[in-house]
Amino acid sequence: MADPEKKKCNTRKRRVKSADLFVCPLGGMGEIGKNLTVFGYGDDYIIVDCGLKFPEEDMLGIDFVIPDVEFLVENKSKIRGIFITHGHEDHIGALPFVLPRIDVPVYCSRLAGGLIENKMIDASTGYVPDFHYIYPGDRIKAGCFEVEFIQMCHSIPDANALAIRTPAGVVVHTGDFKFDPTPIDGNRSDYSALARLGDEGVLLLMSDSTNVEKPGATPSEKVIGQTFERLFRLYKDRRIVVATFASNLNRTRMIIATAARFNRKVVLVGRSMIANVELADKLGYLDIPDGIIISPQEADHLPDNRVVVLTTGSQGEPFSGLVLMSRGAHRQVKLGPRDLVIISATPIPGNEKLVSQTVNRLFGCGAEVIYERDEKIHVSGHASRDELMLMMSLTRPKFFVPCHGEYRHLVRHAQLAKEMGVSSKNIFILQNGDMLKFHGSAKAEIAGHVQAGPVLIDGVVLGEFEGSILRERREMAENGLVVISVALDKNMRPAAPVQIQTRGSVYSADDGSTFRELENAVLSAVTQFARMPGAKRETLPTEIRKRIRDVFGRSSRNYPTIIPLITYI
């Protein structure tokens, strides 16, 4: 009996008849963030999520990192849409840089759409997305695919898993999730929909791996509510400053509700915090009592114990509200001994040092600081080991691909799938760019690799990771900069004294003997170059660099960045 989904697809394009389903992650494998996965069958492609990740410590001056999407640009005529699981940065943050290049519809919740729209405005792209707003239970046709949205619990409202029906079978992509029995917003994960898919038959499960190393189940957000209640009661004579993710709207809802119960007003600090709260309130995701949100100027006229400051900066971001407060550089909020600071977040891997430095400075301001190791002031939005096992039990997949985690998380999740009965030959640990192809529903294999590397974003400018940007920045940071300025006449003779300037180098103008050596090396390079028959002017800077490096090489193993500037008169 013919597969009805395949028959529908074949009526549209006969070429699809011999096609195979493929799954290709361009981000989110072996890393936290930058999530983007492509699904393809014949001439139909769909994309799930399009996020960013924050830079590593050695990515000097880089604001964030997005996936390389050249594969998508080359095949944009085949893309039927982007499907967004939820509105966190690691799932939507790359859209301002990707959407204008591929120009396809975006299927998402109203909240995620609002957050994406704000990001488009911030990036000044001028591009207006083609939004199609969805609700849990909706099924969207996209070429040969049908995508069903399934309500899941996470740290932001309107998180969804996706059931992707393909001619080869059903793929379940969990997005970020946990099974919280008492969520703040009342929206529980849809167990029955997942079980129904398991009964229908799941070809492939792609599941969030972030917390696979944590035993048991992730605590409910209600636990945090109890902690805030106790802290607000215990520190009733102090101003309370709470730092959390601007996108953790469920936590924001809880803090505002607790402030209202203790007759406190709330001051919002941080551009993203203000924008997200205003958006969520406008769309009805937050129940904010009238008059509870006030300006910093209004807060100045209230006693400290009547104010809660809700701010960004839980990850130690250099220009965030909390970090500016810790440095005493915030224009409106000055911290002191009558303040309690609560950091309600766990450091993202790589941000531990920044958070630690911020905590130290906060103590230096005289404030009392409560952070994760002290109290239950943060719970994850991701499923722990027992919940990941429950996901597998409900969906009962034939094939399994762990996603959204560092490499060790993917390995641990693959091991868990094997313990749950998935055949080892049907478990694939993918790297970004791997092309996993299914031959019908019986067999799958990694059949090739497409270009998939990180792209660095500095402001709104894109730069390839493989280029020289980071190498040059590291060299300048480690060894400094030397600029050599030479003026030559038409006979290639010096027309003015050689000028040498240094920045960040151990060598300075006070070191007269070294500077004389450098000057002599430059003059020697120019003299020898002038005697070379047929020498091309553009090769002179290289000759000068060689001579300068010889001078530095006598006293050091490291060379500053050398920039010759040659003026011909």
CATH of residue 557: 3.10.20.580
The answer to whether position 15 is within a domain reads no
Domain total for the chain? 3
Its sign, for the CA torsion 141, 144, 148, 149, is negative
- For the beta carbon of residue 498, count every other beta carbon within 10 angstroms: 18
The answer to whether position 11 is within a domain reads no
Query: Which positions ≥6 away from 36 have C-beta within 8 Å?
Result: 25, 26, 27, 28, 47, 48, 49, 50, 51, 67, 69, 94
Query: Which positions ≥6 away from 199 have C-beta within 8 Å?
Result: none
**Which CATH number is 255's domain given?**
3.40.50.10710
Is 382 marked active-site?
yes
- Bridge partners for 159 per DSSP: 152
The answer to whether position 546 is within a domain reads yes
Is 413 marked active-site?
no
Residue of 208, 330, 339, 409 marked catalytic: 208
Residue of 382, 409, 413, 434 marked catalytic: 382
The answer to whether position 404 is within a domain reads yes
The answer to whether position 7 is within a domain reads no
Domain identity same for 291 and 358: yes
Q: Which residue among 432, 464, 496 closes a domain? A: 464
The helix (run of H) or strand (run of E) holding residue 145 is strand 145-152
Domain identity same for 284 and 142: no
The answer to whether position 16 is within a domain reads no
Domain identity same for 226 and 208: no
> Annotated binding site for substrate: which residue ranges?
246-248, 378-382
* Per-residue confidence in pLDDT tens, the chain, 569 aa: 344 444 444 433 333 345 799 999 999 999 989 999 999 999 999 999 999 987 665 555 567 789 999 999 999 999 999 999 999 999 999 999 999 999 999 999 999 999 999 999 888 888 999 999 999 999 999 999 999 999 999 999 999 999 999 999 999 999 999 999 998 888 899 999 999 999 999 999 999 999 999 999 999 988 888 999 999 999 999 999 999 999 899 999 999 999 999 999 999 999 999 999 999 999 999 889 999 999 999 999 999 999 999 999 998 888 899 999 999 999 999 999 999 999 998 887 777 888 999 999 999 999 999 987 666 888 999 999 999 999 999 999 999 999 999 999 999 999 999 999 999 999 999 999 999 999 988 899 999 999 998 887 765 444 444 445 656 666 666 677 888 888 888 777 888 888 888 777 666 555 667 778 888 888 888 888 877 877 777 788 888 888 888 877 776 666 788 888 888 87
Domain identity same for 422 and 537: no
Domain identity same for 330 and 456: no
Domain identity same for 87 and 177: yes
> Annotated binding site for Ca(2+): which residue ranges?
61, 63, 458
- Print the domain residue range for 82: 21-216+380-464
Query: Which positions ≥6 away from 417 have C-beta within 8 Å?
Result: 392, 400, 402, 427
d(CA 547, CA 517): 10
Q: Which residue among 406, 429, 464 closes a domain? A: 464
Number of H helices, E strands in the chain: 17, 28
The answer to whether position 375 is within a domain reads no
Q: Which residue among 413, 432, 464 closes a domain? A: 464
Residues 22, 396 contacting (CB under 8 angstroms): no
> Annotated binding site: which residue ranges?
61, 63, 86, 88, 90-91, 154, 176, 246-248, 378-382, 404, 458
Domain identity same for 528 and 420: no
The answer to whether position 396 is within a domain reads yes
